[in-house]
Amino acid sequence: MKNQQKGFTLVEIAIVLVIIGLLLGGVLKGQELINSAKVKNLANDFRTIPVFIYGYQDKFKRLPGDDLNADTRFTGGKKASATGQTVGNGIIEGTWNSTDVTSENVLFWQHVRLAGLAPGSTDFTSAATASLPSNAEGGTVGIQMSTPIKGMSGTYYICSSGINNKLAQQLDTTLDDGAGDKGTVRAQSGNTTDSTKDGETYTDGKSYVVCLAF
């Protein structure tokens, strides 16, 4: 008596393949939605910081971080005292990724929070207590008024780090022209910026700092 071996029919195989295809499609769609949400979150950082600046200026006639009267204007407010910086000169001094709590660009965050424009800690005893903002990818977000990337032109510059190439390009497309080496949004690979170097095109496998001029 022969043993009868029963295999899958073509219909069964086709059904399995369809199910696998649907699952893969769902995973890819889910990842696409996650990436889209991250890009929106990243873009929101760039869009809200100008609101903080103009809102503070409108209310106090000063720039946040550069406010000469921040220590008397707010309870617990600090006036910048970093070496080489001049408070009240109409310039937010310091680099976007600084963690020095005596620097104007870092105290920018305390001032807009104390003014009720942004949420977050107002204890700027140290970078840890200050709870400096981070982006959707866990990178640093900051502002400066000196040019972070060669060729950029503006009054203020917002930079956000730790963004992978795909998200960086989508972010650039959302805010500007999708090209990291030109326009009002430019990028450099790595974790910081070099004002002596141009922006770069987006390349697979790299992480970028993306900066916006306005």
Closest listed residue to residue 154, CA positions, set 166, 163, 146, 162: 146
Per-residue pLDDT of the chain in tens (214 residues, 90 and over written 9) = 555 556 667 776 777 777 776 777 666 656 676 788 999 999 999 999 999 999 999 999 999 999 999 999 999 999 999 999 999 999 999 999 999 999 999 999 999 999 999 999 999 999 999 999 999 999 999 999 999 999 999 999 999 999 999 999 999 999 999 999 999 999 999 999 999 999 999 999 999 999 999 9
**What is the spatial order of strands in the sheet that 157-164 belongs to?**
141-144, 157-164, 207-213, 185-189
pTM: 0.85
Structural contact between residues 134 and 101, judged by C-beta atoms closer than 8 angstroms: no
pLDDT at 28: 62
Q: How far apart are CA 39 and CA 172, in angstroms?
A: 9
Structural contact between residues 82 and 91, judged by C-beta atoms closer than 8 angstroms: no
pLDDT at 29: 57
Domain ranges of the chain: 40-132, 147-214
pLDDT at 34: 72
